[in-house]
């Protein structure tokens, strides 16, 4: 007699800050065992670009492109910039001009994550120009923390004056909650985005499709010092070099 169906766990990749689909390209690569890939890109032009670039994966259901921002609530967010010079931001004044503005819909990160099963394993990449603070604050109260297998966070808030203190506060809350968060300055190692994301994924051998043991590279001192300098500049009230991009 069959008493029930055993549900197999799935590996889920969640890309928060899709941009041109650089992270999606890595997650869909055959080197990794991701059953589902979700990418969030609020800017309509770039969400469309990702959908067209990976049309086959969208059609077969492996990739879902969400043309919304992620935050700590369902509602709307003001997006500054058009991604033309490397990104957009939710931080007013972070770009040299705030003339380009797009009002985008936002979704509650915990509501989205709550849609997965208790046996699923979720891997999250956060690079969302200041949005990481609200998102991680919200995730620290997520009831399904056991499903979060790995998170990498790039704290863009440290590119703004005094943003470092928000980064430090959030990291303390994360540690208290027991969330598996790695900082980008420690895990994202490599010359290209693909190399950096791949290096982070190497910390999780359970999602590797290869037989050979993959050993992640350690961040070089020079790059660690770069991030440290960014934190110091932010702590004393300066915006990080390169953050005030031309819109």
Contact 76, 104 (CB under 8 A): yes
- Tell me: pLDDT of 103 over 90: no
Q: Which CATH class is domain 11-235?
A: alpha beta
pLDDT digits (tens, 9 = 90+) for 104-121: 889 999 999 999 999 999
Distance from C-alpha of 36 to C-alpha of 176, rounded to nearest angstrom = 29
pLDDT digits (tens, 9 = 90+) for 141-177: 999 999 999 999 999 899 888 999 999 999 999 999 9
> In the β-sheet with 75-80, what is the strand arrangement from edge to edge?
69-71, 101-108, 75-80
Which residues, in sequence order, are CB contacts of 222 under 8 Å at separation 6+? none
Please tell me the total number of residues recorded for the chain in this structure: 247
Residue 207 or 244, more confident:
207
Q: What is the 3-state secondary structure (H, E, C) of 206-223?
A: HHECCCCCCCCCCCCHHH
Angle in degrees, CA 120, 146, 37, rounded to 5? 35
Domain ranges of the chain: 11-235
Contact 10, 117 (CB under 8 A): yes
Structure tokens at 182: 């790695």
Give the rounded percent of residues in the chain with a pLDDT score beyond 70. 84
- Which band of pLDDT confidence, cut at 50, 70 and 90, is reported for residue 242? very low
């Amino acid at each position: 007699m069959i008493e029930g169906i055993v549900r197999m766990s799935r590996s889920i990749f969640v890309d928060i800050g899709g941009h041109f689909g650089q992270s999606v390209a890595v997650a869909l690569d055959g080197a990794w065992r991701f059953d589902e890939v979700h990418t969030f890109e609020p800017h309509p032009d770039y969400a469309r670009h990702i959908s067209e670039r990976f049309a086959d994966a969208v059609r077969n259901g492996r990739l879902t492109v969400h043309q919304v921002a992620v935050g700590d609530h369902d509602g709307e967010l003001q997006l500054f910039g058009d991604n033309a010079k490397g990104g957009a931001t939710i931080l007013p004044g972070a770009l040299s001009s705030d003339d380009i503005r797009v009002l985008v819909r936002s979704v509650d990160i915990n509501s989205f994550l709550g849609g997965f099963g208790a046996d699923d394993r979720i891997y999250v990449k956060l690079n969302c120009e200041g949005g990481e603070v609200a998102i991680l604050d919200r995730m620290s109260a997520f009831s399904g923390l056991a499903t979060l297998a790995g998170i990498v966070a790039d704290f863009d808030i440290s590119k703004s004056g005094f943003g470092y203190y928000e980064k430090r506060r959030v990291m303390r809350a994360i540690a208290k909650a027991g969330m598996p968060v790695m900082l980008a300055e420690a895990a994202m190692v490599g010359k290209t985005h693909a190399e950096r994301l791949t290096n982070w994924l190497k910390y999780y051998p359970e999602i590797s499709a290869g037989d050979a043991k993959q050993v992640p590279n350690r961040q070089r001192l020079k790059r660690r010092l770069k991030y440290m300098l960014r934190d110091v500049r932010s702590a004393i009230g300066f915006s990080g070099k390169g953050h005030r991009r031309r819109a």
